[in-house]
Chains A and B, each alone.
Chain A
Amino acid sequence: MPETLRLALAIAGKDIRAELRSRTALVSAVVFAALVLVVFNFARDPTALSAVDLAPSVLWVTFALAAMVALNRAFTVEREHGALDGLLLAPLPRSALFAGKLLANLAFVGTVEAVTLPLFILFFNVDLRAALPGIIGVTALATVGFVSVGTIFSAMAVRTRFAELMLPVLLLPFMVPPLIGAVQVTARLLAGRPLSEMLGWLRLLALYDVVFVTLCTMVFPAVVDE
């Protein structure tokens, strides 16, 4: 196994083990997602707008806000007792640290999304059976991009006095492109439209992933090193 991958897996494994023990971020994010769904469900006028028309936006706003809660924890756990110093002292390439944090964040956000999706079906009574594989695919594609950006902004925000406030301020503008793409693809999937109508958006999501995963990996050392 390449050394960078071994180190990245060690860091991700540590984060997942610590989170499974405390469950702080996961439980908070899932409860937050459920609350968002409840609010949207009761705020909607079913005679004015059908659930299927509203569903893509609600699903992605819920995913985005819940992901923000989960991403906040990525580097706040490293702030306790100077643990980040321990990581920066170790002879690991910064790319391994970024990859480890990215993997752990993908696991957290993926778990939150996996729990949120059934809640969404429950609240909005949307039949996703036909569209489910496509929705899982577009969720994975969009999540990689914004979690990558979220990981680097989490590392940046943790050095500020108001980390919890800074992360949404920094991240939300960068979440707009993948969210728009994901909403458009989800709407077409729910409407049973052909793949050809989604290809442009899927390309945008894939391009966003490639550009931002690469860019974030390159920029990360400058963010964590003083």
Chain B
Amino acid sequence: MPSYDGAADPAAPLLEARGLCRSFGRVRVLHGIDLTLAPGEALAVAGPNGAGKSTLLRLLAGLLRPTAGEVRVLGRALHGGDAEARRAIGLLSHQSLLYDDLTLVENLTFAARLYGLPRPAAAARAALEAAGLGERSESSPPRLSRGLLQRAAITRALLHRPRVLLLDEPFTALDAAAAARLRQMLRERLTEGLGMVIVTHHLAEVWEIATRVLVMVNGRWVSDQARTGSLEEFLPRYRAWIDA
């Protein structure tokens, strides 16, 4: 299945945020955030609770409007009413985005229709099979364990072959085997040219996948560097940033 290639500007980065600010009432959560994502890059965004990581992810997905600044996806303005800009994005949030009253295959078929995939039911079944959920395709979300539900949510996020994948704590509730399988799948997607932003509290889970590590504290980047060396070397600096 071909991935989305609707770039307005072929030379544009997959995702670009400039001067992103977001306030909720009088509380300013993000302060002028810049971010660029190139094909094959995986940004690990870490930080303490309340740092603004999930808000940033929702802004990058187009689910929140920035108070100031802009987000561009493949050169298209995300918040300018251009529906096509959203086609390149896949989101795994804290919630599954699945309907309780539909089976997994019905949920994914509906998602496939929203993205205009050819033969949506077949695409949904193929995606579930590939995720190891083929036998559960006729189950509804409430009948799944937390781990299986997370796998279903990941399958939904990847169904339309997005160019940009936004992941909020993707390893939550996955057992070791499922987490390893997800890591492997994410690595494969990176080699295919997909870019991803992974928000996490647990750097250990994403350290091997990440190409860059960004640390956010109080809505500002305190570090943005290529992932080099081991996690053990990085952690003392990370703790110093978040304790400062």
Interface of A toward B, CB cutoff 8 Å: 3, 6-7, 10, 14, 17-19, 21-22, 77, 80-83, 85-93, 221, 225-226
Contact = CB atoms under 8 A, between A and B. Distances in A.
Interface of B: 61-65, 81, 83-87, 89, 91, 93-102, 106, 110-111, 113-116, 141, 156
B97 A226 contact: no
A201 to B, nearest CB: 38
Nearest to B113: A10
A91 B99 contact: no
A80 B83 contact: no
Contacts of B141: 81
Given A18-B99, A89-B63, A82 B93 contact: yes
**Which residue, A3, A6, A83, has most C-beta atoms of chain B within 10 A?**
A83
Contacts of B102: 14, 17-18, 21
A86 B97 contact: yes
Given A85-B63, A91-B115, A22 B101 contact: yes
A88 B93 CA distance: 13
Contacts of A83: 97-99
Nearest to A79: B95
Given A91-B86, A226-B64, A85 B114 contact: no
Contacts of B96: 81-82
29 contacts: A7-B114, A14-B102, A14-B106, A17-B102, A17-B106, A21-B102, A77-B99, A77-B101, A80-B100, A81-B95, A81-B96, A81-B99, A82-B94, A82-B96, A82-B97, A83-B98, A85-B61, A86-B98, A88-B63, A89-B86, A89-B91, A89-B97, A90-B114, A90-B115, A91-B84, A91-B85, A91-B114, A91-B115, A92-B114
A92 B91 CA distance: 16
Contacts of B84: 91
| A interface, over-half SS | helix
Nearest to B86: A91
B89 to A, nearest CB: 6
Nearest to B83: A91
Contacts of A90: 86, 111, 114-115
A60 B110 CA distance: 35
B33 to A, nearest CB: 17
A92 B95 CA distance: 21
Contacts of A92: 83, 114
A207 to B, nearest CB: 29
A18 B102 CA distance: 6
B8 to A, nearest CB: 14
A89 B95 CA distance: 14
Q: Give the interface centre of A14, A22, A92, A221 by most chain B CB atoms within 10 Å.
A: A14
Contacts of B106: 14, 17
Contacts of B156: 86
B197 to A, nearest CB: 14
Contacts of A17: 101-102, 106
B81 A221 contact: yes
Contact of A93 (B61, B83, B100, B110): B83
B101 A21 contact: yes
Nearest to B90: A89
Most chain A CB within 10 A, of B84, B85, B114, is at: B114
A206 B177 CA distance: 61
Nearest to B62: A89
B234 to A, nearest CB: 32
A176 B56 CA distance: 43
B110 A10 contact: yes
A183 B177 CA distance: 64
A82 B93 CA distance: 9
Most B CB atoms within 10 A — which of A6, A7, A10? A10
Contact of A226 (B63, B91, B95, B110): B63
